[in-house]
Structure 1
C-alpha cells in the first residue's frame, strides 16, 4: 500500500482514537437526546455534487427538516470522501452521503466499529472520458489520465479496468498509463487545455468534458457491472449515533426516501432544485445541457446495490490499494426495510451476490 494511503489511514485512525477518548471524557455532544430519546440535532454531511442529488434536494426542499421534526438538521458539505470519514470518526458529523471506497476504508480502519451503511442513494454516472482519436485501451499507452484521488472510487475503477486490459499503472504516476490524482474541477480544466488525455470521473464532469471539450466516452462504468447498476453514493451513519438515536435515524431515512422519490417522479423540478442548491453552495450552476446529460446518466435509488460494494472492495485489493477486509456487518438495512415494507415497497438486501 502506498505511503500516501497509509498516512491517510493513520490520520483517520488517529481521529477515531481521539473521538473515542473525548467521548470517554464526557465531551460535549451536540447530538444528545431530548426527553423522548431522539437527538436534539443531526449533523449530516454531503458533497456539492450532482451524484449527491438526494442530499441536495433533501436540504434545499426541506425534506429532511420536515421528516426530522423537532430534531435540528445541521448540514455540512465536504469535497472528498476521506475528509467526510474523518469528520464521522471525530464526531463532527453523525451521518453522511459518501462513495463506496471511503466507506470501505473507514470500515476497515475502524475494524467495523465506526459506521453502518443504511441506504443506497445513487447508481451510475461515472466514465472514462478521453480525447478524440483514442479508440481503445491500447491507445492509452503513454497517455496521462486523471482520477479524483489516489484510492478513491473512480481511481480504483480505472486501475482495475487497466489491469484487465493488460496495462499497468503504478501509484507514482508511472507505468504504461500515467494516472494523475487531480480533483474533478482541475481535471476538467486540464482536459480542456489539453494537458491530460482523459479522466475517469463522476458526473457532472463526464457531461462537462463531452459537451464543452469535445471528449468521448471510452468506458461507461455501467457496462462493467451486472445490470448496469453500481453504487456511486450511499448513506452512512455513525454506529454510536445509530445505537443512541435509532428513531432519529429512521426519520432521516424518511427524508431520504422522500428525496429519492422526488427525484424520480418530478424530474424537471428536481433538476432545477438540484442545480439551485449547487449554485448556492458553489456559486456556479450547471449549464442546462450539462445538467440534463448528467441526470440522464444517473439512477437514484435507496437500494444500496450491495454486490457492487463487495466488488469494489475486491477490485481495490486486486490493484494493491486495500488490504483484504471482511465487510460482514457493514450494512444495517433494517430501519430502511421497515419503512419500505410499511409503504408497500419491496425490501432491499445486503447480499454480496
Structure 2
C-alpha cells in the first residue's frame, strides 16, 4: 500500500491505496448504508487523514496491521492521506476533500466553530499526552524565554495554543505575527530539528516524536505538557477522531466500522506496548523515509497514552485558552461530540462509557 504525503491542504488529495475495491462508490460520501446493514451490503469510500506522528499511532498502527481493512470490510475502499498540520487537515475536511481524520483538539474546535457547529463531529478519542517544550540546554526558566524564538507546528494548532497560553500565564506577550516578548514561528515539524540544530530557533513546543528528536539533538525539556494538567492528573487530549457530519449521516455503518477499527487499534497498542511501538515505527518509517532510532522511539513512546476517551474536559479547557488568547470568540461547543457509536461499542466490550463533558 502506498501512502501519500500532502504538504498543502489546497492540493488535491492523492489516493493512498485501496484496501478493498468491491462495489465502491464514486461519490464523495460513498453509498448510503443503514446502521444495521449486513457486511456484504455495505459499500463506499472512506477518505481518512492522519499525521506521521506517534501521537497518531492508532491510525499508523491500525493501517499497518490491517485492522482498518478488516473492520471496514471488503466493500469499503479506504484512501489515506497524511498531513503535517492540523490546520491543513481541518481545511481538507471542511472542503469535503476528507471524510474523517485523526486531528488535534484545537483544529477540531476551530472547524466546528467555523462551520457554525454544522460540519464536523468528534466521534472518538485516540491519544493523550506526548507534547513538550524543548529548548536550548542553557535555558533553565520561563523568564529566560524572553527574547527567544520558538517554533510550533502551525498557527492555532494544539501545541501553538499550548505554548501561547503558557507564555501568557507567565507574563510573556506574543502575537500572531511573530512579535512580542517571545517570537513564535509556526513551521512544519519536519523542519524543526534542523532549525534548532542550525540555531534558527531556540526551541519548540511540539508533539512526539519531534520533541524527543529535539532532545536527541541536544535540547532539554523545559515543560512537559502533562505537568500543566493537574486537574486531569496529567491526562490531556492530543488526538481525536473527527468525521464530517454529512458523511456520518449518509454512511453510519461505515463510521461505526471506522470507530470499531479505532478501538481495536487502541486495544492492540495497549495489549503489548513494545510490539505496538515497533509496528507504529515501521509505519512511520514508510512515511518519513526511515524509522525513528530506538533511543528516540523509547523516549517518545513512554509519554503517550492511547484511549478512545476524548478527555472532553481538557478539550473544553483548551477552547477557553484559545478564547483568552483572542484566537477564537465565544466558543459554543454544544454538539461537537457524538459519542453514541463509540459508547455502544465500548458497552458491548464490557467497558465503561466515556463522557462528552
Q: 2:111 aligns to what? A: 106
Q: Check conservation: 2:55, 2:239, Cα contact below 8 A.
A: yes
Aligned to 1:347: 353
Matched, 1:168 2:168: no
**Structure 1 match to 2:22:** none
Q: How many residue pairs are counted as aligned between the two chains?
A: 326
CA distance in 1, matches of 2:252, 2:326: 37
Task: Pick from 129, 136, 143 the counterpart of residue 138 of structure 1.
Answer: 143
Q: Structure 2 unaligned runs (5+)?
A: 1-7, 11-25
**Contact 1:39–1:245, Cα closer than 8 Å, also in 2:** no
Quote the offset at 1:92 in angstroms.
2.0
CA RMSD of aligned residues (A): 1.7
Question: 1 or 2, which has the higher helix percentage?
Answer: 1
How many Å apart are 1:220 and its aligned residue?
0.6
CA separation of 1:48/1:75 partners in 2, compared to 1, >3 Å: closer, same or farther?
A: same
1:48 to 49, 52, 76: 52
- Give the whole-Å Cα distance in 1 for the aligned partners of 2:335 and 2:108: 13
Which has the higher mean CA deviation after the structures are superposed, 39-48 or 236-245?
39-48
Q: Specify the alignment match of 2:76 in structure 1.
A: 71
What is the deviation of 1:153?
Answer: 0.9
Q: Does the C-alpha gap of structure 1 residues 195 and 86 become closer, same or farther in structure 2, counting only changes over 3 Å?
A: closer
TM-score (norm 1): 0.89
**Paired residues of 2:87 and 2:154 also in contact (CA < 8 A):** no
Return the alpha-carbon distance in structure 2 between the equivalents of residues 240 and 192 of structure 1. Answer: 45
1:46–1:76 CA contact under 8 A, matched in 2? yes
Matching residue of 2:274 = 268
Aligned partner of residue 304 in structure 1, secondary structure: coil
**Which secondary structure does the structure 2 equivalent of 1:323 belong to?**
coil
**2:243 alignment partner, one of 227, 234, 237:** 237
The reply on whether 1:128 has 2:127 as its aligned counterpart is: no
1:207 to 198, 212, 220: 212
Query: 1:307 and 2:313 equivalent?
Result: yes
With over 3 angstroms needed to count, the CA separation of the structure-2 counterparts of 1:171 and 1:278, relative to structure 1, is same
The aligned counterpart of 2:224 is 220
Aligned to 2:287: 281
CA distance in 1, matches of 2:29, 2:166: 43
Secondary structure of 1:228's aligned partner: coil
Aligned counterparts of 1:334 and 1:28: Cα–Cα separation in 2: 26
Contact between 1:98 and 1:234, CA under 8 Å: does it hold in 2?
yes
What corresponds to 2:261 in structure 1? 255
Partner residue, 1:31: 30
Change (3 A) 1:324 1:277: same
* SS in structure 2 at match of 1:278: helix
CA distance in 2, matches of 1:40, 1:125: 34
**Aligned mates of 1:127, 1:175 — CA distance in 2:** 21
Q: Which residue of the other structure, out of 156, 176, 198, is the alignment partner of 2:203?
A: 198
Partner of 2:95: 90
Deviates more, 1:182-191 or 1:290-299: 182-191
Asked if the contact 1:38–1:245 (Cα under 8 Å) also holds between the matched residues in 2, the reply is no
Cα distance in structure 1, aligned partners of 2:45 and 2:152: 36
Q: What 5-or-longer segments of structure 1 have no aligned partner?
A: 1-7, 12-26
1:152 and 2:157 matched: yes
- TM-score calculated relative to the size of structure 2: 0.88
CA shift for structure 1 position 38: 3.6
**How many angstroms does 1:79 deviate by?**
2.0
